[in-house]
Structure 1
Amino acid sequence: MTSGRGLEDAVWALLHEALHHYRDHPWAADRLRHELARLEEPLRVAVAGGWRSGKSTLLNAIMGEQVAPVAGVDGEDTFTWYEDGPAPGATAWSTDGVPQELAVTRSATGLRVDGPGWRPGELRDLVVRWPTRALRQLTLIDTPAVADPDERGRAPVVERALRDADALLYLTRDGRDSDLRALDSERDGIVGQAGAVHVLLVRSRADETGGGRIDALLTARQLVRRQQRDPRVAARCVHALACSGTVGLAGRMLGEADFAALAELARVPRPELDAHLLSADRFVRAGLPVGLSADARAALLERLGLFGVRLATTLVRTGCDSRVKLSTELIRRSGLTELRESVNRLFVDRQGTLKARSALVAVEGLLRAEPGPGTGELLGAVERIVAGAHEFAELRLLAALRAGRVGFAAEPAAEAQRLVGGEGTAPAARLGAEHDATARQLWELAIDAQWRWRERAEDPTLRLVQRRGAEVVARSCEGLIVELAGPPRRSTPA
């Protein structure tokens, strides 16, 4: 792989070389120590998007509970960090750099902190500690709304999100050009030109596609598949998908009382119910032949929205006859299952690679901002690491395979995705073997796979993009062979 040591080891060594180079520059040395510490911290995933793009709802859907937004803070310039903790709490970081501990309480729409009353723009970061399994392996960052890029194509919120986080969920309601231009801020430089392996494009509020018709989610997925074939999208993100945070969150938080209310509505003849679901006012205020009060119907709308009520009642009529079944189907149809799987496979499973990438970006930026004797050699080291980083090539190929841009037939495409880590990065997952397969069995599978894919890489009848893709897969197999032939590693606790 990278210089025979692995990308993470190469970046760790580079950081120490840079730290030695800047030993007499306190500011630069502190920044490099910060990057070294980040390598040991949980993966940082920022969620960014324009006004009313559904950031807070999507964050809640990922965590499975109503925690965002945080009331009591000025959100215009504040980044809110959600990390795992033994007990609820929060730390406020204002522009003067002095931290302040705050108590956290539940509010009707999320969480609330009681601060001293900051002036607009004074509160820079709010770090919320919240005990939940969803935050065990990553820290989620809720950003302020992203404004349209300025005349130079700069979007300050996105620039800071890309600088502070290791990966980005970028929410767009329609994938318009201005949304895509906001992602251009990090495409310059050695690392930026290696590809946007750290950005996942999310077509949010997918339930509103086509005016919120019953097939809205399906239509949104079809539009995203078309977008994935657009070179402008492929150059800016590793994958794209559609998701309705509202429907996904409703599925994750669906209670027995919610299910009973929806089952009651499902007993109303569909034409009659559809007439009442033309607007929120008609659904809440008009007479319905069900024993649900206006307040109960308003609560359903608050949780599910008009589209969600239509979808949920349709699912109840067609076989989702329990809370568990309905919850599972709402989560699946919302796109949340695909989103969480993509975050796990592309981000969490690759967190070492993504954190190493963040460190490379920081080192390159520091070397260009503080040039001097020896910085040229360090920039050359950055370039060599990036050029030899097979881990980046795997992520780019995985994105192309998922978007159907490579052109392999179904069976080799599925095998290629698996071998480059699309179903997990452990050797057994890559090779499609049982978890208890021996090292010898895995090694033999890797040898067979490497032979097949090396043949494809050298097949003159295949198109260039297919031969290059096969070359990446063959190199992944070679890495597995080396790993499996080496001395056994110490097992680490799960």
Structure 2
Amino acid sequence: MRELRASVTASFERARLALGGHPALDPVRRSLDDQMAKLRAPMTVALVGRVSCGKSTLVNALLGGYQVPTGVNELTLNIAILRYGAVPGLTVHYDDGRPPERHDLHELEALVGRQAQDLKGISHLEVVADLDQLRSFDLVDTVGLDAHFGDESGKTLGFLGRTGADVRSSSLTHAARADAIVLAFARGLNLDDAALLADFRGLDIAGLGPLNALGVLNKVEMGWSADRPDPFQDADRVAARLMSAPGVRTTMLTILPVAGLMASAAGTCTETDFADLTELSRLDPGELAERVDRGEIFFEYADIDVPGDRRADLVRRFSEFGVVTACALIRDGADLPALRSELADRSRLTTLRGLLLDHFGRRADVIKTTGALGWLRTLRPVGLPVRAEVAYGRALGELSLMEARESVALEQLKVLRDGYEGRLGLSPEDLEESRRVLGEHGGVEVSGDVGDRVRYWSELAFHPGFDVVTRNAARVVRAAYTNLAQRGSRQ
């Protein structure tokens, strides 16, 4: 992917030079600069969902427990772009023509205290933080898809001069610019499957599909009780049912159940938390689960050495499921680092991060390149002077050469997209194999003679029962196996 990015960026730079300084080509030059900036930028991941689906908790979890600074809610109702930077800071972006304003993070309180007219017109906040997690991707925490907001949110919207429709539109706009989209559902919402999916079937985002979108069934911990100690069993069934609904498999890669609070606690668990959890772990496991399951009564027991307010804080941050799980891990010998790691694993935060970085991350540059080439095909400048026309032709030539040079990566992306969107006539087993050899799910491990797979896919490439799209896909897979065989022979 690094080689692809370098090659594509160099081609765009040569194309820009080929445009020369002709004023008639200024719009093309600006568009080309925009595409180059997107190619150079880190992958962007946007979280989209209802206000009550726990997006902020997911943000905190993905960022290792980092809390978005207090005051963001009051300024933008949670629309924030979080980026890596050695020097933390804040930039307020406006959509009413004002230039961006840069501030220190500690100035948020003063910003919130401004007059209402000063706060109107805010588009979003850009928060810079020195977090290792942000070295891999920028994270966009959108507001929500709710058409109507509660009383408090409604008051804030009125104060900012915005409507619920404005906020939904803004959320979709930021999501559409992202390389990957996480669609968050709330496990605890009392909605049927159709209602849960309704928000996402109406998303007006071009190109939304399994290569750039996945769903998260959040708040799995709300299904825990002493009688139902594994809430993931029910959540997995719900996720499978949602994925089987018409049109969902062409909209997102998967729907992954996640225990958001426990995931966030994995990054915030302190030595004090560990000491209190260790004390709680001394209780009999069954008795602890029954007491925790009694709600606020758990905070009132006088025979537990951990103070009631500390028990309340642990439940608030870890959830009942998280507290019981953490105590079981400590009982099995986990120290603080191991506890954090296991909580991340058992909440499925580790799986979510892996999907973002492996599935989306490895494809981000190819997807950006495909988007840039799609933009290229929409350019149709007319009435150019002769010299500008010649320069424009040279620029197109540079980009066409790049498209031919990088045809393998672009063809593989097309095969993956066609497979996910149901356009290939391959069997489920062959479809899964094609995805693995093209780099999905951690790649393929070939046992035995790679030549057998080359011959098998050669047969599919000429199968008379397949259409042209499927036969071409088989040729791409065959070429991938051939490349594996060649690499193996060199080693």
TM over 0.5: yes
1:6, distance to aligned residue in structure 2 (A) = 12
Other structure's SS at 1:234 match? coil
In the alignment, structure 1 residue 450 sits paired with structure 2 residue 469: no
Residue 490 of structure 1 is matched in structure 2 by none
Residue 340 of structure 2 is matched in structure 1 by 327
Query: Is the contact between residue 210 and residue 420 of structure 2 (CA under 8 Å) also seen in structure 1?
Result: no
Unpaired runs of 5+ in structure 2?
Answer: 149-162, 188-192, 385-392
1:321, distance to aligned residue in structure 2 (A) = 3.8
1:58, distance to aligned residue in structure 2 (A) = 1.0
Other structure's SS at 2:140 match? strand
Distance 1:478 1:8 in 2: 22
User: What are the Cα deviations for residues 196-235 of structure 1, in whole angstroms up to 9, with x where unaligned?
Assistant: 5211111122222477942212321232233333341112
Other structure's SS at 1:302 match? helix
Residue 35 of structure 2 is matched in structure 1 by 35
In the alignment, structure 1 residue 396 sits paired with structure 2 residue 417: yes
In the alignment, structure 1 residue 419 sits paired with structure 2 residue 444: no
Residue 108 of structure 1 is matched in structure 2 by none
Residue 181 of structure 1 is matched in structure 2 by 201
Residue 111 of structure 2 is matched in structure 1 by 115
Return the match for 1:254 from 264, 269, 273: 269
Distance 1:16 1:36 in 2: 10
Other structure's SS at 2:66 match? coil
Distance 1:394 1:300 in 2: 47
Return the match for 1:354 from 367, 374, 383: 367
Query: Is the contact between residue 47 and residue 142 of structure 1 (CA under 8 Å) also seen in structure 2?
Result: yes
Query: Is the contact between residue 77 and residue 124 of structure 1 (CA under 8 Å) also seen in structure 2?
Result: no
Residue 216 of structure 1 is matched in structure 2 by 231
Query: Is the contact between residue 434 and residue 477 of structure 2 (CA under 8 Å) also seen in structure 1?
Result: no
User: What are the Cα deviations for residues 165-223 of structure 1, in whole angstroms up to 9, with x where unaligned?
Assistant: 1211111125623222243x134xxxx39x55211111122222477942212321232
1:17, distance to aligned residue in structure 2 (A) = 12
Rg comparison, structure with higher value: 2
Return the match for 2:179 from 141, 158, 166: 166
The residue correspondences of 1:192-231 to structure 2 (distance < 5 A) are 192=207, 195-209=209-223, 213-231=228-246
Distance 1:281 1:200 in 2: 36
Distance 2:261 2:474 in 1: 38
Other structure's SS at 2:102 match? strand
Other structure's SS at 1:35 match? helix
Q: Which range moves more in the overlay, 262-271 or 133-142?
A: 262-271
In the alignment, structure 1 residue 145 sits paired with structure 2 residue 141: no
Distance 2:242 2:286 in 1: 35
Query: Is the contact between residue 61 and residue 245 of structure 1 (CA under 8 Å) also seen in structure 2?
Result: yes
Distance 1:113 1:430 in 2: 52
Residue 387 of structure 2 is matched in structure 1 by none
Change (3 A) 1:289 1:453: farther
User: What are the Cα deviations for residues 138-159 of structure 1, in whole angstroms up to 9, with x where unaligned?
Assistant: 1111111222499x9x952443
Query: Is the contact between residue 89 and residue 102 of structure 1 (CA under 8 Å) also seen in structure 2?
Result: yes
CA RMSD of aligned residues (A): 4.5
Residue 123 of structure 2 is matched in structure 1 by 124
Residue 81 of structure 1 is matched in structure 2 by 81
Change (3 A) 1:290 1:211: closer
Query: Is the contact between residue 9 and residue 39 of structure 2 (CA under 8 Å) also seen in structure 1?
Result: no
Residue 104 of structure 1 is matched in structure 2 by 105
Distance 2:7 2:53 in 1: 35
In the alignment, structure 1 residue 295 sits paired with structure 2 residue 314: no
Residue 491 of structure 1 is matched in structure 2 by none
Paired letter, 2:440: G
In the alignment, structure 1 residue 345 sits paired with structure 2 residue 358: yes
Residue 279 of structure 2 is matched in structure 1 by 264
Other structure's SS at 2:125 match? strand
Query: Is the contact between residue 259 and residue 347 of structure 2 (CA under 8 Å) also seen in structure 1?
Result: yes
Query: Is the contact between residue 38 and residue 368 of structure 2 (CA under 8 Å) also seen in structure 1?
Result: yes
Residue 245 of structure 1 is matched in structure 2 by 260
Distance 1:417 1:7 in 2: 25
Residue 156 of structure 1 is matched in structure 2 by 169
In the alignment, structure 1 residue 133 sits paired with structure 2 residue 132: yes
Residue 440 of structure 1 is matched in structure 2 by none
Return the match for 2:250 from 210, 213, 235: 235
Distance 1:309 1:360 in 2: 50
TM-score of the two chains, using structure 2 as the length reference = 0.73
Change (3 A) 1:245 1:27: farther
Distance 1:211 1:233 in 2: 30
Report how many residues are paired.
438
1:308, distance to aligned residue in structure 2 (A) = 1.5
Change (3 A) 1:483 1:418: closer
Unpaired runs of 5+ in structure 1?
Answer: 106-110, 434-443, 487-494
Paired letter, 1:38: K
Query: Is the contact between residue 52 and residue 186 of structure 2 (CA under 8 Å) also seen in structure 1?
Result: no
Q: What is the percentage of aligned positions where both structures have the same residue? A: 23
Q: Which range moves more in the overlay, 344-353 or 208-217?
A: 208-217
Change (3 A) 1:15 1:233: farther
TM-score of the two chains, using structure 1 as the length reference = 0.73
Other structure's SS at 1:290 match? coil
Higher RCO (CA < 8 A, seq sep 6+)? 2
Distance 1:89 1:239 in 2: 35
Distance 2:174 2:291 in 1: 43
Query: Is the contact between residue 77 and residue 123 of structure 1 (CA under 8 Å) also seen in structure 2?
Result: no
Other structure's SS at 2:111 match? coil
1:314, distance to aligned residue in structure 2 (A) = 3.8
The residue correspondences of 1:12-91 to structure 2 (distance < 5 A) are 12=12, 24=24, 29-68=29-68, 70-72=70-72, 74-76=74-76, 79-91=79-91
